[in-house]
Structure formats: C-alpha cells, structure tokens
Amino acid sequence: MPNIGGRPAMVAVDDIVRAGRELGMRGLSVKAVAVRLGVTATALYRHVESRWGLERLVGESILAELRLRDDPRHDLERHLLSFALQMRAFMLEHPGLAGYLQLLFPRGDGGQRLLNTEVDALVRRGYEPGAAIVLSGAVASMTIAMTASEENSAAAEEADGDGLDREREAVRDRLSRDDRLAEPSAALPQVPRPEYVRLLLTASIRGLAGSCPPGRPVAEMVADLAATGEGL
C-alpha cells in the first residue's frame, strides 16, 4: 500500500483484520500490522483505539469461524466434553488465540455468540440460564487454560527442543533415584498428550456436572463448595 504523491496511505478495517490474521495472534501488534500494510501506526489508530482494540478486532474475527456442534444424543458429560474438545481443536489451529481468550471471555461478538450457543445447549438439557453460564464458563476457562499450557510447551519445544529433552531426561532421572517415587512412577502408563488432556477434561467435567446438576441453584452450589474449603 504505497504512499503516492506524498499523501498518507489509506487503510481500512478489513485491511487491518487481514494483516492481523496473516501475522497470527502470537505475532500481533500495532507496529507489526502497520509494517505489513506499509502505513504508520497512526493510520491504524484511526480504526483501533489501542493494542487491546486490535487484539479484539482480529481475535473476534477468528472466533466468528468457530461453529459448535451439539449432538442431541449426547448426555451432559459427553456434550460438555465435546464442547471442550471442539474449543481446544480450534484454538490449536490458531496459535495465540488461547492467550487472547484466557485474558477475558467473552470480549466481543464472536465470544458472546459462542457463549449463547453453549448456554442454549445446556438449557435444552434442563439448566436455568444462570447455571448454564456458570457451567459453560467453567468448562471453557479450564479448556482455555489447558490449551494455553499446551501452546507454551510447543513454543518451548520449537525454541529449544534439545534443551527441553534434556530437562525431561533430568526429571526422569531424578524420579528414578527417589526411593519412594521411582517404582510407582515407572509403572505409570505413558499417555500421549492429546489423550491425557482428554482424560483430564473428562474427570474435571464429571466433577463440575456433579456439583452443578440441572435444577440446582447456583447459590446453593457455591455455598456447598465454599463450605468444603472452609478454614483452608
């Protein structure tokens, strides 16, 4: 987008979104988008008020493409697991999106649409809207955090895979020399990361569904959980 005849290069919102998506959420910044478009940062600030606004503009554009599938044959646990796995798969396809969602959710129309979609699915399974917001939000937050952790591990692997392998070997060596931990840790099954995440999500969802079944008031659930941790 060259500067012709001394006039400032013009840029539109669609140009910003396109450039931001090409950079990806992990590489997103006002300066990077401006350089990619061949304009000044000031030209971008005519359309986005800050870095936060740029993140929201690009992040919500990506989220607009996520369509959650709800199989009516699924019971509550299978539905919530499917919801979590669909979110995880989409975030892994768009590096940096997990970090965007982890900060605050929903931040715009795309996230709000997803929340409404999941609340509707839980209402169909007997939940009041308030309880549905709590439950879907808890599952989403847990999934986002786990996916962000996966991304961090992948980034470390990419940056220094050999160094990370040495660190892993050091951990295994340390455990093997521990009188208490060596034998039981060696007997543990080696579960691939995707399957481990799936198992952990399943266990967590089972606990959430047990604490917040359809028809239970949110206040009662919160009081019960608070009483369990009282004094700790």
CB atoms within 10 A of CB 221: 17
Q: Tell me the pLDDT band of 8, cut-offs 50, 70 and 90.
A: low
Do 98 and 28 contact (CB within 8 A), yes or no? Answer: no
- Residue range 90-120, pLDDT digits in tens: 999 999 999 999 988 888 999 999 999 999 9
Please compute the mean of the pLDDT values over residues 124-146 and round it to a whole number.
Answer: 95
The three-class DSSP label of residue 75 is coil
Q: What is the pLDDT of residues 15-71, one digit of tens each?
A: 999 999 999 999 999 999 999 999 999 999 999 999 999 999 999 999 999 999 999
| Calpha distance 100→191 (Å, rounded) | 28
**What is the per-residue pLDDT for 5?**
45
Nearest to 22 by CA among 65, 51, 55, 58: 58
pTM summary value: 0.87
